[in-house]
A and B are shown apart, each in its own frame.
Chain A
Amino acid sequence: MHDCNDPDLVPRWFPIARSEEVEKRHVFHAKLLGEELAVWRDDEGRINAWENRCAHRGVRLTIGDNLGAELRCRYHGWRYLSGTGQCSVIPAHPGQTPSPAIRAKAYRCAERYNFVWVSLGSEGEIPEIATLAGDAPLTLRSIFVEAAAPVVGAALAGIAGATIRDPFTIETGDTIVTLLQPVSQGRCIIHAALTPAPSGDARLPVLRQHNERLSALRDAIERAGTGRLFDASTATTVDLYRRQVADTRLAYCVAS
């Protein structure tokens, strides 16, 4: 179960991985709003994001096996079908069809902008991000921060030239979009994408430069907390961000 009481936040779509991190024949572990997820790609390329708990005895599905069309639990080998999460095989009872009531809890998920997005609710759409709408953007290494998403969002808004799209989507320059994944109340992941993707030899230095900037930002947040991070020139944007956060009642991850 997620631990979020904020009804506006639960159905919202969040990026939980870069597309390339969810490889075939692997099971990727993610966490969103306190809910653990088993994320896996079937051999057709389709993504699944399931509650990370086998319906049988609660074993984490992330320690199971991605068989290509089914996910198999490590404990008793129960198999769940890609797409529906329906249990298809119970090895202790070969030849019997498992009850339709036995299924993995599947969340809505989709790929967009080279990220895997998940919504824990049943309404709403993936946010449109015009800057990323063109050619496939280049995703940066995602950065885990030991701080609540709005704290990190305020720090991102404090970067010179930042534009706030919403409390979880901040463009920190003309070509870079950062997206926040609220992992739990006090933790988040910064995903980031560059567009257009720099080509050839330019790629590596650009990636490295952005990675260093974001890592430095993370270090500063974890060291300093909020407050002292910003200089006067960006105070207005940071203020704007904080007001937006207050207006959208992000009760879940805002320190009161």
Chain B
Amino acid sequence: MNSSDPSHDQVVRDEWHVLGALEDLSARPDWDTRLLGEKVSIRRKAGNTFDVLGKDGATLQSQQRYGYLWASLGTPARPLFAIPEFDEPDRRNLNAATFGVHVSAPRAIENFLDMGHFPFVHTDYLGVEPHTEVKEYDVQVTNDGHEVLARRCRFYQPRASSVAEQGYEVEYIYRVPHPYCAVLYKANAIDAARMDVIGLFLQPVDEEHVKANMLLSLIDDASSDTTIRAFQQTIFAQDKPILENQIPLKLPLDPRAEMPAKSDASSITYRRWLRQRGVRYGTVAASA
């Protein structure tokens, strides 16, 4: 391996990566998974704690956060990103879905940030023709360069969540605080003063495979877990065949490789941000 080999991407090795939902892990004995193409072993200890071992058997840094197990193949320079809402006492936090998708992590993040596909991929759920316009929104890099933030993202949705009964224009905030994780905020359908939070945490199994975990942190006391999960899994299942039919499966970082429109401002910023951070894993490098 040399430093130009994307499979040895130190920037990405030094990040925290999600390895699964704790409620699933707690139900199983020791098990193995893959992270950045390498075998990782999870060993259950007393009191629902875990050791995470790398391919050579060495113990990796790990932690439990947001209902998930996280580990790093390197040395994280910073703590895992914050989601302050998660710890509010009246929230319902649940892992709504864990899905394997044959695509790179950055392509999946871009899909999560993208409103333009709602009427075509999530027809009658998150969008419907003729309401296809993506109005101008604000996108910037914040938090000392560690985060992409898109605000004032507005879109007409016929059925924005499992409790919504009629269409209305929703407003979203998107955060990308990690190359392979994104967090979405939207006004709660019942209590407009508060925000529902949806986190997408991708386990980069290898450059072209992810396990996508969806965290819901909701102000919602009506729907059952089953109803909420069924809704999110429907949405996920609609995205999957699109993601798996992108050529290439890795995300091109060369601005000339694909043709963005103005509505792709968040994608343009995300790609530039990955380039500047030197993230190579799961991307196609820009040619000089």
Contacts and interface: CB of A to CB of B under 8 A. Distances in A.
A89 to B, nearest CB: 9
Given A53-B247, A58-B258, A93 B263 contact: yes
Given A91-B116, A91-B132, A56 B245 contact: no
Interface stretch (A11-19, A74-82, A148-156, A162-170): A74-82
A75 B261 contact: no
B247 A56 contact: no
Contact of A77 (B119, B259, B260): B119
A127 B247 CA distance: 32
Contacts of B133: 91-94
Q: Pick from A74, A75, A77 the residue with the most CB of B within 10 Å.
A: A75
Instruction: Please report whether the interface of chain B is mostly helix, strand, loop or mixed according to DSSP.
Output: loop
Interface in B125-175: 129-130, 132-134
Contacts of A77: 119-120, 129, 132
A255 interface: no
B106 to A, nearest CB: 12
A76 B259 CA distance: 13
Q: Pick from A36, A92, A99 the residue with the most CB of B within 10 Å.
A: A92
Contacts of B120: 74-77, 91
A55 B252 CA distance: 12
Contacts of A59: 242, 245-247
Nearest to A62: B245
A60 B248 CA distance: 10
Given A57-B246, A58-B247, A92-B263, A76 B258 contact: no
Nearest to B110: A57
Interface in A49-94: 52-53, 55-60, 63, 74-77, 90-94
Interface residues of B, number: 26
Interface residues of A, number: 22
A55 B258 contact: yes
A94 B116 CA distance: 12
B74 interface: no
A74 B242 contact: yes
B117 interface: yes
A129 interface: no
A133 interface: no
B121 interface: yes
B242 A56 contact: no
A101 interface: yes
Contacts of B55: none
B20 to A, nearest CB: 29
A90 B246 contact: no
Interface string B44-77: 0000000000000000000000000000000000
A58 B242 CA distance: 10
A245 to B, nearest CB: 31
Nearest to B118: A76
Nearest to A94: B133
A36 B247 contact: yes
B241 interface: yes
Interface in B233-282: 241-242, 245-248, 252, 258-263
A57 B258 contact: yes
B134 A102 contact: no
Contact of A55 (B119, B132, B259, B263): B259
B261 A56 contact: yes
Contacts of A56: 258-261
Interface in A174-226: none
Given A59-B245, A91-B129, 9 more contacts: A56-B259, A58-B252, A59-B247, A74-B121, A75-B242, A77-B120, A90-B261, A93-B134, A94-B133
14 contacts: A55-B259, A58-B258, A60-B246, A74-B242, A75-B120, A76-B114, A77-B119, A91-B133, A92-B116, A92-B132, A92-B263, A93-B134, A94-B130, A102-B259
Interface of B: 110, 114-117, 119-121, 129-130, 132-134, 241-242, 245-248, 252, 258-263
